[in-house]
């Protein structure tokens, strides 16, 4: 039976849960019926700041037993993802789970088994981020010729926002290599598939591999490299960027620049590239130095559209997220051993 409105139980009302709450308030077919958070006072304060009146529960079990629910949206720390996904799936709820899907490939396989009967999408939002979609379209169109190389960067100041400082605990987040850099790994996979091998170097600290540089090896494909790290000075801010060099042009993105997306084609001077903005662009919401809800809005809009039509999401699926996690695990192994690591085909 197709539905056109959805009750959401939002788990984890921290940085990302607050973002999702703001997005659902811009998606008319959704209503948050409960928040689940082990810090109910903090969650209640954030809900009040957003002008939302929603009951807060300490456990998912209590929320599901008390309020109407169709969807469980999981924004708790990554080491809690598997437990929340399995509980929600056992209750027959459709699930949106933040990235990374979980901490290990074994755990990811258990998740994929658990969600077979429900709709499931993972917050690998670069697949929905407007400037990254624009690059994908330019590659596919061939208008600048063959892509020769792609270099991606994701850099941030030292993070201190997470509740209980879980992001800085290696066993809970697996460091920037998994938590931050997986965005670029996932985007690379969305463009070119799984590489044959990876060569990585990085900086390991007590809180994990917090800066990583990876070369993705594609036989007969473009040269692809990515840098991801959150060990810049705390006040440094955040930047995501890429540079794509084609036979007949370049496309460059820099989240700290205006305009953010530029191109140099043929003999024309460098100019701004227009791209499809997310529906929520006119909002005043600020995410760091990003001025709109970008892929964060579009991924949830897509998820709700899938629910409305009864289709399973085909973008940012559980299997795709699990594969990105598997590749990052090989990158971490490569950085720790300082050797190129082959990635077996599945
Ligand atoms: N897509 C993105 O770009 C993006 C950005 C940031 C975070 N994330 C992901 O979102 C998830 C949450 O990250 P965050 O930055 O919002 O963390 P956070 O620390 O800001 O928030 C986590 C929230 O979960 C609550 N919580 C912790 N354990 C709980 C439990 N067992 N049950 C219920 N509530 C619990 C905390 O009290 C807190 O309110 C992580 O998986 C992270 O990787 C994704």
Residue owning the nearest CA to atom 7 of ligand 1: 16
- CATH fold of the domain at 126-296+321-342: Dihydrodipicolinate Reductase; domain 2 (3.30.360)
How far does the centroid of ligand 1 lie from the alpha carbon of residue 225, in Å? 28
How far does the centroid of ligand 1 lie from the alpha carbon of residue 77, in Å? 4
Query: Structure tokens of 196?
Result: 């044959």
Whole-angstrom distance, CA of residue 221 vs CA of residue 139: 13
How far does the centroid of ligand 1 lie from the alpha carbon of residue 12, in Å? 6
- Enumerate the CATH 3.40.50.720 domain ranges in the chain, comma separated: 6-125
Whole-angstrom distance, CA of residue 20 vs CA of residue 297: 8
Pairing relation of β-strands 341-342 and 208-217? unpaired
The pLDDT tens digits for 104-118 are 999 999 999 999 999
What are the phi and psi torsion angles at 84 (to 5°)? -70, -45
With residue 38 as reference, give the H or E element that holds it. Answer: none
How far does the centroid of ligand 1 lie from the alpha carbon of residue 123, in Å? 12
Q: Is-contact 33 68, C-beta < 8 A?
A: yes
Whole-angstrom distance, CA of residue 308 vs CA of residue 285: 26
How far does the centroid of ligand 1 lie from the alpha carbon of residue 284, in Å? 23
- Enumerate the CATH 3.30.360.10 domain ranges in the chain, comma separated: 126-296+321-342
**346 residues of the chain, pLDDT tens digit each:** 678 999 999 999 999 999 999 999 989 999 999 999 999 999 999 999 999 999 999 999 999 999 999 999 999 999 999 999 999 999 999 999 999 999 999 999 999 999 999 999 999 999 999 999 999 999 999 999 999 999 999 999 998 999 999 999 999 999 999 999 999 999 999 999 999 999 999 999 999 999 999 999 999 999 999 999 999 999 999 999 999 999 999 999 999 999 999 999 999 999 999 887 765 554 444 444 344 678 999 999 999 999 999 999 999 999 999 999 999 999 999 999 999 999 999 8
| Pocket of ligand 1 from Cβ distances under 6 Å | 11-17, 36-39, 42, 75-78, 80, 98-99, 123, 125, 161-163, 166, 179
**CATH superfamily of the domain spanning 6-125:** NAD(P)-binding Rossmann-like Domain (3.40.50.720)
Whole-angstrom distance, CA of residue 103 vs CA of residue 324: 11
Residue owning the nearest CA to atom 21 of ligand 1: 14
**Hey, which of 21, 40, 77, 96 would you mutate to test ligand 1's pocket, going by the most ligand atoms within 8 Å of its Cβ?**
77
């Amino acid at each position: 039976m197709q539905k056109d409105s959805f009750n959401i139980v939002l788990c984890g009302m921290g940085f990302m849960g607050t973002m999702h709450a703001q997005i659902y308030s811009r998606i008319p077919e959704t209503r948050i019926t409960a928040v689940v958070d082990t810090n109910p006072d903090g969650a209640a304060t954030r809900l009040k700041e957003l002008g939302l009146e929603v009951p807060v529960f300490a456990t998912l079990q209590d929320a599901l037993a008390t309020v109407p629910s169709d969807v469980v949206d999981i924004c708790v720390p990554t080491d809690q993802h598997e437990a929340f996904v399995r509980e929600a799936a056992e209750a027959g709820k459709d699930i949106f789970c933040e990235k990374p899907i979980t901490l290990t490939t074994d755990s990811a396989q258990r998740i994929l088994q658990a969600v077979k009967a429900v709709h499931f999408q993972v917050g690998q939002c670069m697949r929905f981020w407007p400037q990254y979609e624009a690059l994908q379209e330019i590659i596919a169109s061939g208008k600048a010729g063959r892509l020769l190389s792609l270099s991606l960067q994701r850099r941030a100041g030292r993070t201190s926002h997470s509740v209980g400082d879980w992001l800085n605990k290696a066993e809970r987040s697996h460091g920037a290599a998994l938590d931050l850099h997986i965005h670029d790994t996932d985007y690379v996979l969305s463009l070119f598939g799984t590489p044959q091998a990876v060569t990585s170097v990085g900086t390991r600290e007590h809180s994990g591999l917090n800066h990583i540089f990876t070369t993705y090896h594609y036989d007969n494909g473009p040269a692809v490299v990515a840098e991801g790290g959150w060990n810049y000075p705390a006040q440094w801010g955040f930047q995501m960027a890429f540079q794509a060099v084609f036979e007949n042009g370049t496309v460059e993105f820099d989240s700290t620049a205006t305009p953010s997306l530029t191109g140099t084609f043929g003999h024309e001077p460098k100019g701004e590239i227009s791209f499809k903005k997310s529906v929520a662009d006119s909002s005043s919401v600020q995410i760091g130095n990003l001025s709109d809800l970008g892929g964060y809005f579009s991924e949830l809009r897509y998820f709700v559209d899938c629910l409305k039509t009864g289709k399973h999401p085909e973008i940012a699926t559980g299997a795709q997220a699990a594969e990105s996690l598997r590749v990052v695990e090989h990158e971490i192994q490569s950085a720790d051993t300082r050797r190129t690591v082959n990635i077996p085909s599945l």
